[in-house]
C-alpha cells in the first residue's frame, strides 16, 4: 500500500523553496559557510586566494604562495589540499619562479569571465543580461 501526499500549492511551494535554498547554497554560499567543492563559488574562492597574493599571473613578478597558505586557501574553498590538483590540470594555477604556487593568466581570465577582477575588489560582479 502506498501513501502519497497530495500536491497542493503549499507542498509545491515548500519543495521549490527547499530546492532554491539548496541551489543558492551551491552557487553562492553565505560568507559564514564554506563553499561546496566543485561549485563556481568554490573555484572563485580558491583562485581569488591565490590572486590576492600574486595578482600578476607572471612567474617572475610578486611571490608564490607557500604550502601553508595554499592549504588554507584550499580549505576556504571547501577542498582538501590535493583537491585543487584540477586547477593545475586546467592551467588555472602554476608554479612561481621562487617555487611557490601562483594563479596563471588563464586563471585570471577565468575569474574575469565570471565577473571577478582586481578592480572589483576580487568580489563577483554579475553583468546584467543583455
At residue 47, the pLDDT reads 95
Amino acid 69: pLDDT: 94
Contact 93, 101 (CB under 8 A): yes
Domain ranges (residues) in the chain: 9-28+35-117
Please give the pLDDT value at position 122.
Answer: 86
Which single residue is written with the C-alpha cell 590576492? 52
Residue 94 sits at φ, ψ, to 5 deg, of -150, -160
> Could you tell me the pTM of the whole model?
0.72
DSSP annotation of 46 reads: H
H or E segment to which residue 53 belongs: helix 40-53
Coarse DSSP helix, strand, coil percentages of the chain, rounded to the nearest 5 percent: 50, 5, 45
State residue 112's pLDDT score: 92
Could you say which residues of the chain have pLDDT below 50? none
The pLDDT value recorded for residue 34 is: 78
Sequence-distant (6+) residues with CB within 8 A of 77 are 34, 35, 37, 42, 43, 45, 46, 49, 84
Amino acid at each position: 500500500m502506498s501513501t502519497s501526499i497530495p500536491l497542493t500549492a503549499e507542498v509545491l511551494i515548500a519543495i521549490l523553496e527547499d530546492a532554491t535554498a539548496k541551489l543558492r547554497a551551491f552557487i553562492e554560499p553565505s560568507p559564514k559557510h564554506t563553499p561546496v567543492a566543485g561549485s563556481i563559488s568554490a573555484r572563485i574562492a580558491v583562485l581569488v586566494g591565490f590572486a590576492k597574493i600574486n595578482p600578476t599571473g607572471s612567474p617572475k613578478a610578486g611571490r608564490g604562495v607557500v604550502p601553508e597558505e595554499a592549504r588554507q586557501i584550499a580549505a576556504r574553498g571547501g577542498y582538501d589540499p590535493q583537491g585543487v590538483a584540477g586547477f593545475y590540470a586546467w592551467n588555472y594555477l602554476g608554479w612561481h619562479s621562487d617555487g611557490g604556487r601562483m594563479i596563471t593568466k588563464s586563471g585570471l581570465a577565468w575569474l574575469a569571465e565570471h565577473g571577478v577582477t582586481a578592480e572589483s575588489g576580487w568580489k563577483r560582479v554579475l553583468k546584467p543580461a543583455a
